[in-house]
Amino acid sequence: MRSNIMKEGPQRAPQRSLLKAAGLSDGQIRRPLVGIANSFNEVVPGHVHLDKVARAVKDGVLMAGGTPLEFNTIAVCDGIAMGHEGMRYSLCTRELIADSIECMARAHCFDAMVFIPSCDKVVPGMLMAAARLNLPSIFVSGGPMLSLDMGQGPLDLNSVFEAVGALNTGRITEADLALVEEAACPGCGSCSGMFTANSMNCLTEALGLALPGSGTIPAVYAGRLRLAKATGMQVMALLDRGIRARDILTAQALQNALTVDMALGCSTNTALHLAAIAREAGLSYSLEELNRISAATPNLCKLAPAGKHHVQDLDMAGGIHAVARELSKLGLMQENCLTVTGKTLGDNMAAASNRNEAVIRTPDNAYAPQGGLAVLFGNLAPGGGIVKQSAVSPKMLRHSGPARVFDSEEEAAQAIQAGKIVKGDVVVIRYEGPKGGPGMREMLAITSAIAGMGLDEDVALITDGRFSGATRGAAIGHLSPEAASGGLIGLVEGGDIIDIDIPARQLSLRVAEDEIARRGAAFVPPQRPPVIGYLKRYAALVSSADRGAVLALEGDD
């Protein structure tokens, strides 16, 4: 056992004394020490119940003969942080979470790890830590929030954001907004659509690092606690067999995750996070590969925001392994990949079935022959820009229009609320990238306001920042290089024509090269408010979005 180096022999009596001070008996100290990385807090609805999930995990570890030792990480609620300064502190926490878990696990010589994430940046942060530590590791999420139907269709967090836009244009009353506000988020769990949190939790299953059901069983179901107990027991089986995180997190497993991603129509943020996870695992990853997999993978599910179904519906239909089984009919899954069950993905899929073909369509009845995400390239995005094409109206798959340029999310929000954006416009929001923001803010308030005003089929948005997984419409983010790093998006002027061709994977500024050169020679960057503390350090080290917005020192690849 790895922990023996800090607990065995006379010379380790001081360490054993300290463990006893924490309440551990000699018998507990002799057993394998299992770190339980829990993101519980009392702020985030996706995390308020994780103390109970952790208790169930620890019961499972105890039943299987291990000693569980729980510690906590931070977690930011993107919904609460949305639309103000707080959103700068979302993506950057991914690195803090990975670093803090590394520190705890290495310092205390844990033999194995159980990770309990729920929301947006916590899942990839913990996956990065798992790859970095390369210990026997397993994940169990807090599960999705339920979606309620109050008579006008199922609700979720995005319903509230869009209702605000509808109120601004007089389409609903304040009383209507209040009703949506009360019902849209009925309890604990990660927001109920295929937004970023649920996307990443589902992809953790596809990677093979979580037991079946981890991504889809609703947070309030008793099955969530039973799964947590099984997870605690299973980490001991992984330890006994010497199966470590990178034995599972292989290039083939990453391909499986990307394939399931395309079939589900996951958040655009998965492209950002899978790049960061691949880097930690020493795996190659490119946005061109994402396009290749998307081109070969049918879109089988339309969960909110792309459609009316929610993750609870996906769970009832058979979950992630049922989706994978449908994809296997086309030979798209790498079925020999090892998983935390101790069996292969193919073995796991054999136990799954598609119980509702309205939720999980079969390949011969797919929503589209291509996957949910697309990467666009062109002079505006030599390094790529990401769009959730499965949530784009067919009429907006190709669009050309005049640029309406804003140097911050706040400027764009003011213009939208004032009715200054009209049909045909291309809203350009820059200096919101990883370095320029800093922090690469999500802009759900912007996209939802446009949708709530009924303009989502007539207005496109492009940005070097990000869009929430709850976003729908022609919203293209992650433009690389970003404005703060000299990207062409920084030279766009109001009225310039921007050409968007999602099927052709093209995003271009229709301005002559000599004019672009003239603008570049005369360019003076706008004055930005100074940043301090962690954001200052983050801005100095963060890479571009196409590299996963990871922290990179000089000389790093």
Residue 234, token pair as written in the block: 């299973």
Outline where 354-498 has alpha helix (H).
409-417, 444-452
Count of positions (residues) in the chain: 557
Residue 31, token pair as written in the block: 């057993």
**Would you call 190 a catalytic residue per the annotation?**
no
Per DSSP, which regions of 7-66 are E strands? 33-38
Cα R_g (the chain), whole angstroms: 23
Residue 412, token pair as written in the block: 């764009």
- The owner of tokens 């993905």 is 345
Query: What is 513-556 written as a DSSP string?
Result: HHHHHHHHHH--PPP-----HHHHHHHHHB--GGGTS-B--TT-
Determine phi and psi for 315, rounding to 5 degrees: -60, -45
Contact call for residues 447 and 248 (beta carbons, < 8 A): no
- Do the bridges between strand 398-406 and strand 497-501 make them parallel or antiparallel, or are there none, so unpaired? antiparallel
What's the burial of 369, exposed, middle or buried (CB within 10 Å: 0-12/13-18/19+)? exposed
* Long-range CB contacts for residues 77-80, cutoff 8 Å, separation at least 24: 77/43, 77/44, 77/45, 77/46, 77/119, 78/119, 78/120, 78/121, 78/196, 78/442, 78/444, 78/468, 79/157, 79/191, 79/444, 80/43, 80/44
- The owner of tokens 């991603």 is 261
> Helix/strand/coil (H, E, C) string of 183-220?
HCCCCCCECCCCCHHHHHHHHHHHHCCECCCCCCCCCC
Residue 474 one-letter amino acid: A
Which is catalytic among the residues 408, 468, 508, 543? 468
Q: Which of 513, 483, 509 is nearest to 401 (CA)?
A: 509
Residue 475, token pair as written in the block: 């919203």
Q: Which residues are catalytic?
A: 468
